[in-house]
Amino acid sequence: HSLEDTMLSLRGDVCVVTGACGFLGKKLVKLLLEEEKLAEIRLMDITIQPNLLQTLEDCRGETKLSFFEGDIRDANLLRKICRGASLVFHLASIIDIYDSVEYSEIYGVNVKGTQLLLEACIQENVGSFIYTSSLEVMGPNSKGEPIVNGNEDTVYNCTLKFNYSNTKREAEECTLQANNEMLPNGGQLATCVLRPMFIYGEGSRFLLGDMVKGLQNKSILYRVSLPQSRVNPVYVGNVAMAHLQAARSLKDQQKRNAIGGKFYFISDDTPHVSYSDFNFVLMSPLGFRIQSKPMMPLRLFYVFCFILEVLCKMLRPFICVVPPMTRQLLTMLNTPFSFSYQKAKRELGYVPKYTWEEARKNTTEWLASQLMMEREK
């Protein structure tokens, strides 16, 4: 490690991770334990899995692990968690691409929860705040206008429909506006936002869901996106690395001023491919094949989704039925939408920790273990 890296370590810090039991949260906590000598990591989630402590025990070292179970909308709990901490990674949110969660609930967690956490940080003199956003705050828009290798300056007319995208966007704005807020101790809060692409890797419920559907379809994966609709998914281990690099950069006063109040796209060197073809790349070693074309032409599929949505809306007063596919989701799956990580590399010093070969191997091995469990059911 160079001298600069030593200066920019989180050694001795107390940090908070919300959503610590989630797909990315677990990976981030493990990385922090492996790469840094923190005084304490406070893990917060709505429910803490009992086996989580055992899995972290072997790489814990001297770091104290504290678990907080509770709701992100509980202001008193947030103040307690932030007391004495210097850094917050805010990962907790409701991810809902089917619009199945009531708006008040998703708004309460994603927006209100973020506002309350920012307030707790200011009251308790927490200096650094990193918010995990999503590519979906950019779109794609309802016209399905493509972006190929976009960056942070790409101008795009976004007409978001998903409650998820809208609430993430609003939480992102709250986070960036809180940059430079004065703290009671005379310091200032520095905030930054990371926007990862579609995250894959061990523990991805989306990959698992697609694999199970393929298994039920005689090991043939469904095609819901056309091959030319290329996106650039990002490996979970690399997203965790970007969070660590952002936190290290906020330790340096000069960098802090440069990156505070900004957002960064986080991708890696995963090949650009459509969502359906990406599933096939990861699952073909396990004996899966893929449909050569979607079940019906896209235009017809779109009409079909519209009818489904109308039916579900009519039923809503009596029963909550969530359509398996919506027009918004179909558009998202069929729009070329990719972004470069060059700005994060330049300004945060982010370099992917895992190569595409390692990421693919890790993910496929995990899927293989899940497949065995599914077959034994």
State the pLDDT at residue 3: 43
| Residue-range domain boundaries for the chain | 3-201+234-268+335-353
**Annotation says 168 is catalytic:** yes
CA–CA distance, 16 with 88 (Å, rounded to integer): 5
- The CB density around residue 303, as the number of other CB atoms within 10 Å, is 13
Of the listed 26, 27, 112, 168, which one is catalytic?
A: 168
Report residue 7's pLDDT band, with 50, 70 and 90 as the boundaries. low
Into which CATH architecture does domain 3-201+234-268+335-353 fall? Answer: 3-Layer(aba) Sandwich (3.40)
Residue bearing the bigger pLDDT, 316 or 104: 104
Q: Which residues of 132-141 are buried (b: 16+ CB within 10 A; e: fewer)?
A: bbbbbbbbbb
What mean pLDDT, rounded, does the chain reach? 93
- pLDDT tens column, 201-256: 999 999 999 999 999 999 999 999 999 999 999 999 999 999 999 999 999 888 99
CA–CA distance, 92 with 104 (Å, rounded to integer): 16
First-to-last C-alpha distance (Å) of the chain:
48
State the pLDDT at residue 57: 81
- pLDDT tens column, 343-365: 999 999 999 999 999 999 999 99
Task: Assign 3-class secondary structure to 320-336.
Answer: CCCCCCCHHHHHHHCCC
Those residues whose C-beta lies under 8 Å from the C-beta of residue 33, and which sit 6 or more positions away, are 41, 56, 59, 60, 61, 63
- pLDDT tens column, 117-170: 999 999 999 999 999 999 999 989 988 999 999 999 999 988 767 899 999 999
| Proportion of the chain above pLDDT 90, given as a percent | 80
Report residue 49's pLDDT band, with 50, 70 and 90 as the boundaries. confident
Extract the tokens encoding 10: 């989180």
